[in-house]
Structure 1
Amino acid sequence: MTDPTRRVLRLLSLLQSRPVWTGPELAAELGVTVRSVRRDVDRLRELGYPVPADRGHGGGYRLGQGRRLPPLLLQPEEAVAAAVGLRLAAASGIDGLGEAALRTLTVLDQMMPPGLREEVSAVAGAVDVVVPAGPGVDADVLVLLARAVRTRVLVRLDYETRDGRRAERRIEPYRVLSLGRRWYLFAWDVDRDDWRTFRLDRIHGARTTTFRFVPRPVPDVEEHVRRSVTTWACAHPVRVRLLVPLERAEDVVPPQAGRLTADGPAACVLEAGGDDLAETALHLVRTGFELEVLDPPELAEVLREMGRRMLRAGPGSG
């Protein structure tokens, strides 16, 4: 093996395969001299791989732990195991883990040959993660969109709107993120000439094009998505003051339910919405918090009527 680059990659693979190698053992595996092994170890160190050399009986070269994580060299079966694990992590519903797993999976997916990618899909299809009830998301669509965000290419979506209509949407994808139990795509809608938030469980098909786009100035993505899924898309946006500190409200009100902001040390404002004021009122009552309705006035009347009904249901009410 005379190609230095190939030899260094082979050396890295050997060091990852077992805890310790002696110089002569590595030289025999690589078909070079011990002196060449020392030079190749130095190349790995320059690339950021910590490779300590322990002297004495039982000593040798080993792959150590460094301050930063260098690139990994994975065997095919290791790549399959890592990719399947990342897919499961992306669907696990664990806060903060899903998006990190998806970003890593996107990088790994780009590097895998078609055969390995097919094996990953087959294995991932045979296992699943049981999470709290929520709409399902196609893992292939998730990866395709994440890759499109990374490569900045235009995407065509077969998207279903809230009223059940389906249409093709041409979008520039900027961010895939999870909020609560749902996944969303933040993108520029080319035909509507505006920013839009798409629910991934409503995407019935997606394909990338060969057209690249020039990135636009991006607003606060998380704030935009929170508002679009809690108020802008609802028939009845509401604002209420909860008479509890912000920290206590955050323990009860999930992120997808609305936007919370502090209103002094003992209160906070909830911006939310829904298509039915009675259902929204029921969710507010379930929090158990005292509240003041800021908008709309109709919500206050719905709550009062709900209270009157509860009183009529009590003992001696008839």
Structure 2
Amino acid sequence: MKDIIKKLNDENIGKVTENEPLAKHTTMKIGGPADLLIEPNTIQDLEKAIRIIKENHLQWTAIGRGSNLLVSDGGIEGVVIKLGKGLDHLEENGEEITVGGGYSLVKLSTIMSRKGLSGLEFASGIPGSLGGAVFMNAGAHGSDMSEILVKAHILFEDGTMEWLSNEEMEFSYRTSILQRKPGICLEAVLSLKEGNREQITAIMQKNKDYRKETQPWNYPCCGSVFRNPLPEHAGHLIESSGLKGHSIGGAQISDLHANFIVNTGDATAKDVLDLIDLVKNTIKDKYDIHMETEVEMIGREKE
């Protein structure tokens, strides 16, 4: 690994850290170490990093701001690429904007609202990055990324890069083509609409207030754990099954919203996974409904 680190540093691609605890890089504050964590300065530096990674036959995984993510206690083998500073550019062209994959979704929605541009109100309380939001077609309050995305610049697993149109992204509920054909969103072009700034700001504030009142953001968490098995809602099913507030180790099904699992202080990924299994088995037994996770679970087993 020392040779790889030297090659990456020689290329001056950005920050490179060995055995970096991923608990420091996820909103759940859970996760073992990455063999190597790379935080590239630019898209061009990311391309260089991918070339070096592939030449040395290493596995790689991409993360953003670490929301909607559960990293195993054993950490992640190979290289973790974090899209953050350096891939958080913003270019404006009237109602169309180009946004880097590392850009904060909350920050972006706030800036656009102040400019009187509508379309991102739903994202005002989603604590992730633009790239992660495109990957999972993040949404809330009746809208999602598929409603505003024009095209996305994707880096695929084989190192190739391509712009995909909205149609080519194959969006559906909390899903895109990137979950079937692995890749990361480097940047995206979004189409917004001019609107009334006061009205947009009021809608965003209402959405933020709703999240504060109904979701446990005072504890480390990853957001909604389960997809809604429509027409049912995951939180309602979990609460009606009597699991609201149930704990395993340091992980707890939130007292405020049953589709959230919170880290009460010393939770491990295993604690969270055990709670997830408990919910799945209970809901299957009681209601014969199969619960699918919305949170992405990655990493290796702890030795």
Normalising by structure 2, report the TM-score.
0.31
Name whichever structure is richer in helix by fraction: 1
Structure with higher RCO (Cα < 8 A, 6+ apart): 2
From the CA coordinates, give the structure whose radius of gyration is larger. Answer: 1
Normalising by structure 1, report the TM-score.
0.30
